[in-house]
Amino acid sequence: MAKTVNRVAWEWAFVAITAFWGWSFSAIHFALQSLSDAAFNTWRFALAALCLLPIWLLRRTPLSRHDVVGGGLAGLALFAAFLLQTKGLRYTTASNASFITGLAVIITPLLAWRWLGITLGRQQLAGALLAAIGLGMLTLSDMQLRLGDVLVLGSAFFFAVHVIVLSRASKLADTLNITLVQLLVVAGLSAVQAGLDRSLLWPNLPTLLHSVLPIALLGTALGFFVQTRAQVGSSPNKIALIIVMEPVFGGLFGYLLAGDRLTLFNWCGALLIVLAMLLTEWQFGRRKAVPG
């Protein structure tokens, strides 16, 4: 019982993180007016790692092989996902990119079945399909295939890979250690990318205060710590469905803060995503947690 309560608490904490990620769209848009995508990712992940470093030093918990290998692989997948998503946005619409990235909710259970041997139940498949349909209704406006669509599809694959890797690695590694390794890997690779692009600039003060710092500390350091901890007791498919809540919160904060207005069709899509979450939760409430 205590384990179930603990699992549900971390899942709801992760839902709160996706709400912050939904808000962060407007902050990232502001930051990219003065920084390249590579520079933004560099400072975002570097500052997040710097935030966790003092805690790691005080705990004096050495990095294990599981921490380094699992965190390194998860960091590689995360870097690839952000890289392809950002580059893809140059060649496709934001709505197409949002929908295709959301296909990770379909890719994740397929990878979990292929790599982890997790059986796909009918309700699990129904929840994933319902979430994908809802995400399409929420964001999709143009189905024309573009080069960017292919790149963003690659990012969806790597976001799914990230969830799968963490599903296995988080159960064997220390949560803080593996989170720190992930952040350092993405920060380092993003810095290399920015260096090759000659775009590694320090953010100006408004960008630093309004975008980079809050996203680095709350959306990245705290965000990926919570995701990693939530995956200790949750299935990768449940985590993927929680992540799908991000565009729902993005639409809500866009309505409240940026003057965006969703149509009734869009809101119906958001409702389908919530229903998919409830359907999947009922399924996992009846079955045991996925073994590590």
User: pLDDT of 202-239, one tens digit each?
Assistant: 999 988 998 899 999 999 889 888 888 887 777 776 77
Mean pLDDT value across residues 252-264: 70
In angstroms, the CA 74 to CA 70 distance is 6
Give the lowest-confidence range in 82-91, 177-186, 215-224, 251-260: 251-260
- Where do the H-state alpha helices sit in 89-169? 94-102, 104-111, 122-139, 147-169
In angstroms, the CA 47 to CA 42 distance is 8
Mean pLDDT value across residues 77-89: 86
Nearest to 153 by CA among 108, 97, 115: 97
Contact 137, 248 (CB under 8 A): no
Mean pLDDT value across residues 95-116: 76
Give the per-residue pLDDT at 249.
Answer: 78
- In the numeric block, the tokens 């799968």 are attached to 164
Q: φ and ψ at 89, to 5 degrees?
A: -65, -15
Residue-wise burial string across 184-193, b where 16 or more C-beta atoms lie within 10 A, e elsewhere? bbbbbbbbeb
* pLDDT at residue 189 tops 90: yes
Give percent of the chain with pLDDT exceeding 90: 26
Contact 46, 79 (CB under 8 A): no
Give the per-residue pLDDT at 279.
Answer: 75
pTM above 0.85, yes or no: no
